[in-house]
Structure 1
Amino acid sequence: MQEDSGLPGGFCTRLLVTGGAGFIASHMIISLVENHPEYLVINLDKLDYCASLKNLDSIANRANYKFLQGDICDSHFVKQLFEAEHIDVVLHFAAQTHVDLSFLDSFKFAYVNTCGTHILLTAAYEASVKKFVYISTDEVYGGSLEEEFDETSPKRPTNPYASSKAAAESFVLFFWERYKFPVVITRCSNVYGPHQYPEKVIPKFISLLQQNRKCCIQGTGRQTRSFLYASDVVDALLTVLKVGKAGEIYNIGSNFEISVSQLARELIQMIQNTSSETETECWMDYVKDRPVNDLRYAMKSEKIHNLGWRPKVHWKDGIERTVAWYKNNFHNWKNVEHALEPFI
């Protein structure tokens, strides 16, 4: 990533992180602010229900961090932001991400994830941004029990969330093909760790069990997911930021895979200290499945491995850290109890 010491404010690089009060983006901001004092990190967040500025308490007063509240779907605001802040690099995380909710309000997901990305791309292109990294998902490939997807595999999304991300990717790549605007796309496996709103499966199960409530498992629980700890994803994105090539797509995959039912069992045994299979099963409540629930996502990640990245955090260590964090931080969000209800 090219640096320019002549930028306004005395910083070498000015990075815009969208959705920075959310889960992965908050970890990204903390890493950038703490390890790169030469960067000014600008956090743009709407502060929707799943965002919390408490995620950023540790760096809130740092000189190279700035928070702006705003909506990526507000084209006038976004254009003014790029003009005023002289942005060099964009890390675009901001999105509606909960698959269950996407079935209930698909238009909102399409509008925020696709139109919001297009608005941001247009402003960034007009401001001659040097690099635009779009954080996408493995779900754009759709599910497969046998096939492992690489970056050239076709996109076959099976839910409104994944469809909106796939559509946004198409706009990102259009800006590369039409204008050679320096975009990069990353597609990541499921991520876990501190700061994640408890509507997602791992923090949801942890929070339910810490309140002595049963894990609500959608359908059969045979669905498997690959999981990466948040800091490993941050390292991957830093790698892409530094040496990822414009116009390319990079899978960020995990070598750890677990079924939802086995995930529940492990968390029950850890949090409730159950000693038998029968006792463990008593903490599992099978509920109605969502309309489409892919059984498995599997990606090949050799392309980003060739850039020097591989995951470092072992599942046992990562899940222990995550469980410990939620003991004291469940109420970091407003009305968070709603997140623990099963899909209806």
Structure 2
Amino acid sequence: MSSSFQANLDEDYIPQNILLTGGAGFIGSHVAILLAKKYPHYNIVVYDKLDYCSCLDNLDEISRLKNFKFVKGDISSPDLVSYVMAEEHIDTIMHFAAQTHVDNSFGNSFNFTQSNIMGTHVLLEAAKCHRGMRRFIHVSTDEVYGEGETFETEAMNEEHVLEPTNPYAATKAGAEFLVKSYHRSFKLPCVITRGNNVYGPHQFPEKLIPKFTNQLLRGRPVTLHGDGSNTRNFLYVEDVARAFEVILHKAKPGMILNIGGANEVSNLEVAKKLITILGKEDQMDELISFVPDRKFNDLRYTINSGKLHQLGWKEEMSWEEGLKTTVEWFTKYSGRFGNIEDALVAHPRIGFAPGSSVSNEH
């Protein structure tokens, strides 16, 4: 599967019936909202298991639109997946559903294999056997590249060898190889995306920014792994949704596209910024707690998104404004996910084994 391309921007792909897996989750819900509202002639079918980190409230603003439908289902269920694809005349799959939390993958990795590899395989096989399939957009992660070993490491392009360092990333890399094989063997029209960390409204509070925000809103110190020096490149979720809008219409089968931003920030800097936004600068020292690091913690990820920029996408939300908007949302909707105490502990509890459903890709 090659990421080299000659993009003809005058020949946009126009879908009719989109199956969006994991669409009640974080990134998927924002993509579903954007497409359903902006393109009323597209039918958007969200398929989601409604597991612990997904929520129908994430889709409330489009729930009454005529071009939107929700189906509760597991991507690992071949019969249901095939039935929905036939019944809804699906011509496009946007596959966001996945287990994505790295910490959980160290203790409950079988769930990741089931969701990320088996679930993707079920979708691919159903798509292969389904008449009229014109696009299969597979949502992967920059973590498949492995870590950038130093801060001088050159940004990774789409041809970089895959060297995942944790069970989550390994299952996402495995899923990618399945996608590539169906593209090569069966000519399934596939596109693969690999994205940076994403933040913003609708994100379940197990991830860094919503976790720290919710800890602080409850008057607790943030729990920083290690010394907090590990960096991530953060992208605001609405920018990412627009990236998928571009990819849906502009990307050609066979492409692999990085979705990267320009906000490389250390975890410690994130914590300090959130404390400042919440007006608690005078408590900075007592609100930062350093805890033992995870089993392995990549130093950084840095990817080159030049190919996506050529298709017409660019990052628009500033880091400062994006963080403020995110904090405001969680302040207003802190009860959206019910009891989130398990998500706010420093490390996942070993017995906590959530099932498969949605993607956050980060």
Pairwise TM-score range, normalised by the shorter structure: over 0.9
Alpha-carbon shift at residue 2 of structure 1 (Å): 4.4
Q: What does residue 60 of structure 2 align with?
A: 57
Q: What does residue 328 of structure 2 align with?
A: 324
CA contact (8 A) 2:235 2:261 kept: yes
Count of residues in Structure 1 that have an aligned counterpart in Structure 2: 333
Q: What does residue 199 of structure 1 align with?
A: 206
CA distance in 2 between counterparts of 1:33 and 1:85 reads 16
CA distance in 2 between counterparts of 1:88 and 1:2 reads 11
Q: Secondary structure at the match of 1:67?
A: strand
TM-score, reference length from structure 2? 0.90
Alpha-carbon shift at residue 107 of structure 1 (Å): 1.1
CA distance in 1 between counterparts of 2:13 and 2:242 reads 19
1:34 to 34, 37, 50: 37
Q: Secondary structure at the match of 2:64?
A: coil
Alpha-carbon shift at residue 272 of structure 1 (Å): 3.5
Q: What does residue 46 of structure 2 align with?
A: 43
Specify every segment of 5 or more residues in structure 2 that has no aligned partner in the other structure, as ranges: 1-11, 349-362
Alpha-carbon shift at residue 247 of structure 1 (Å): 0.8
Q: What does residue 310 of structure 1 align with?
A: 314
Deviations 1:176-221 (A, max 9, x none): 1112110000000000000000000000001111111100001110
Q: Secondary structure at the match of 2:183?
A: helix
Letter in 1 for 2:192: I
Q: What does residue 139 of structure 1 align with?
A: 143
Q: Secondary structure at the match of 1:24?
A: helix
Letter in 2 for 1:307: L
Q: Secondary structure at the match of 2:124?
A: helix
1:234 to 234, 241, 247: 241
> Which of structure 1's runs of 4+ aligned residues deviate more than 6 A?
none
2:184 to 163, 177, 182: 177
Q: Secondary structure at the match of 1:331?
A: coil
Q: What does residue 213 of structure 1 align with?
A: 220
CA distance in 2 between counterparts of 1:72 and 1:218 reads 33
Letter in 2 for 1:147: E
CA distance in 2 between counterparts of 1:2 and 1:197 reads 32
TM-score, reference length from structure 1? 0.95
* Deviation larger for 241-250 or 143-152: 143-152
CA contact (8 A) 2:145 2:163 kept: yes
Q: What does residue 252 of structure 1 align with?
A: 259
Residues 89-128 of structure 1 aligned to structure 2 (within 5 Å)? 89-128=92-131
2:21 to 18, 29, 33: 18
Identity across matched positions, percent:
44
CA distance in 1 between counterparts of 2:291 and 2:280 reads 23
Deviations 1:261-307 (A, max 9, x none): 111011111114314xxx41221001111101001000011111111
* Deviation larger for 292-301 or 77-86: 77-86
Letter in 2 for 1:99: V
2:278 to 266, 271, 274: 271
